[in-house]
Chains A and B, each alone.
Chain A
Amino acid sequence: AQSVTQPDIHITVSEGASLELRCNYSYGATPYLFWYVQSPGQGLQLLLKYFSGDTLVQGIKGFEAEFKRSQSSFNLRKPSVHWSDAAEYFCAVAPRGGSYIPTFGRGTSLIVHP
């Protein structure tokens, strides 16, 4: 069965600092990979996705993620964090073919200090 691990429950950074949120997956083949953000009181918003091709994926709000097959990882990065980035971040994987139903990680809560 596929699984997604986000090892950090909380991450605290200062505004303007760089950010990396970790995501590792366990799956038989390379799945589709997603990062979602959930702001307080809001739904899940898609930040970026990896289907194929360039392993460095650019998303909205200045985020990027890099797929590393050898490490089964899809870490999310941002060079300079803004206070409005404080939110819950979810990594998700979905199988290629079939239903594409995603499996979500437990989420990482990002706290931004001024």
Chain B
Amino acid sequence: EPEVTQTPSHQVTQMGQEVILRCVPISNHLYFYWYRQILGQKVEFLVSFYNNEISEKSEIFDDQFSVERPDGSNFTLKIRSTKLEDSAMYFCASSEALSGGAGETQYFGPGTRLLVL
């Protein structure tokens, strides 16, 4: 069964450093998402991406964050200058194109655990 993959599984960085989290969505999916889960808290939506542009973003997704689909398979989340509060598990997800109003199901990757020191 196809699945979403993410690298690295863990990353430790110093405050102020840039990090890039990578995701390979399911190959025929067209919608891509990033979520984060701070330890012990809810999974929170960050951003959705379709047709090479951001389609929706939450208030968490400020100017420190950016997303990119640099090629036909990868989808990346960049944090330009990490803060302590960016420490969290970051999940990538993907979904097929919307069809007939039937809704869509998002398939999640295993996550990247980011620790900012």
Contacts and interface: CB of A to CB of B under 8 A. Distances in A.
Specify whether A and B are partners.
yes
Contacts of B43: 44, 90, 92, 104
A49 B43 CA distance: 18
Contacts of A104: 42-44
A51 B41 CA distance: 26
Interface string A31-51: 010101000011111100101
Interface of A: 32, 34, 36, 41-46, 49, 51, 90, 92, 94, 96-97, 99-107
A8 to B, nearest CB: 15
8 contacts: A43-B4, A49-B105, A51-B102, A51-B103, A94-B103, A100-B95, A100-B104, A106-B42
B65 interface: no
B79 to A, nearest CB: 20
Nearest to B41: A106
B78 to A, nearest CB: 20
A43 B103 contact: no
A97 B102 CA distance: 9
A106 B106 CA distance: 18
A72 B6 CA distance: 35
Contact of B103 (A46, A96, A107): A96
B107 interface: yes
Nearest to B9: A41
Contact of A99 (B42, B56, B111): B56
Contacts of B4: 43
A101 B108 contact: no
A103 B42 CA distance: 9
B107 A46 contact: yes
Q: Which 9 A-B pairs have the closest CB atoms?
A: A43-B110, A44-B108, A104-B43, A43-B108, A32-B103, A99-B56, A43-B109, A51-B103, A104-B42
